[in-house]
Amino acid sequence: MNGVLIIDKPSGFTSHDVVSRVRRILHQRAVGHLGTLDPMATGVLPLVIGNMTRLAQFYLASEKSYEGVIRFGVATDTYDCDGETIGEPRLVSLTLEQAREFGASFRGVIEQMPPPFSAKKIQGVPAYKLARKKKDVTLKAVKVEVREFEILNVDGACAQFRARVASGTYMRSIAHEMGKLAGCGAHLESLRRTAVAEFTLNEAHTLEDLDGAARGGEVSDLLVHPRKLLPLLPSVTATEEVASRIRHGRPINLPELSRAKEVKVFYGQHDLIAISTRVAGTLFHPRIVLV
């Protein structure tokens, strides 16, 4: 089986947990994900299956969208609701204007300190492994881009938000830093990812949906249509002769796409067989072959 499947990740599962579950359901070893979600978070987790795992390299810098809730008055060591409380909780009642004023500081390109409980590596060791052993975790601030961050409403100590960010941005860190600005501490109480690149919740399926489809032999009905993948790349439908050259890793001539840097090559309407890169003029060489 080859394809892209969007799972609506449940809370309490790591991204690896979901991959392992899907491997068992599909009886397929080649399954990977396109962007980690924290265990407490839910929402869009794109999975690549079979030969489509080769597409992962095109999604390393994918934009992501979120909805969530920040709770003020309580800081935690993980910056989210799964962590241990730091200090004494405080009673807080924010106004919408106050929350929006704090949030305005986190739009655009900002310097962000990753959470100590994160997958960032320190001398080859993930930070969360060191943090769990109560060892010092020294991380460096990195530049991230927050393209949209809007406080939608406030209810007591909780602020609901919507965000659209570049890859590598931690919403947990934004919640933590907003708590510092407010002078009362804060953490990320809930987080739901609504989009990764071109994939949205509208295309997402639960693990229970997948299990039922697998039992009924209908998994293909849940997969994203290949024509929807990598929408910014132009497509070409290959003849049998061109498809044969592609399958053998040989270059092809595409005069109608002379200005494109990369193209998706299909055989028929459904089979994505390669991503090809222009090497000179109208000559394209397969960057990856998917058949």
Catalytic residue numbers read 38
Three-state SS letters, 52-84 = HHHHHHHHCCCCEEEEEEEEECCEECCCECCCC
Furthest C-alpha separation in the chain: 71
- Cα Rg of the chain (Å, integer): 22
Q: Angle at which helices 171-182 and 96-103 pack, to 10 degrees?
A: 120
Cα–Cα distance list, 261 to 17, 121, 253 (Å)? 37, 33, 13
Interatomic CA distance for residues 92 and 238, integer angstroms: 62
Q: Which residue has the tokens 């990740």?
A: 9
* The Cα angle at residue 52 between residues 50 and 58, in degrees rounded to 5: 150
Interatomic CA distance for residues 271 and 235, integer angstroms: 12
Q: Which residue has the tokens 């492994």?
A: 129
What's the token pair of residue 144? Answer: 């991230």
Nearest CA among 188, 203, 200 for reference residue 75: 188
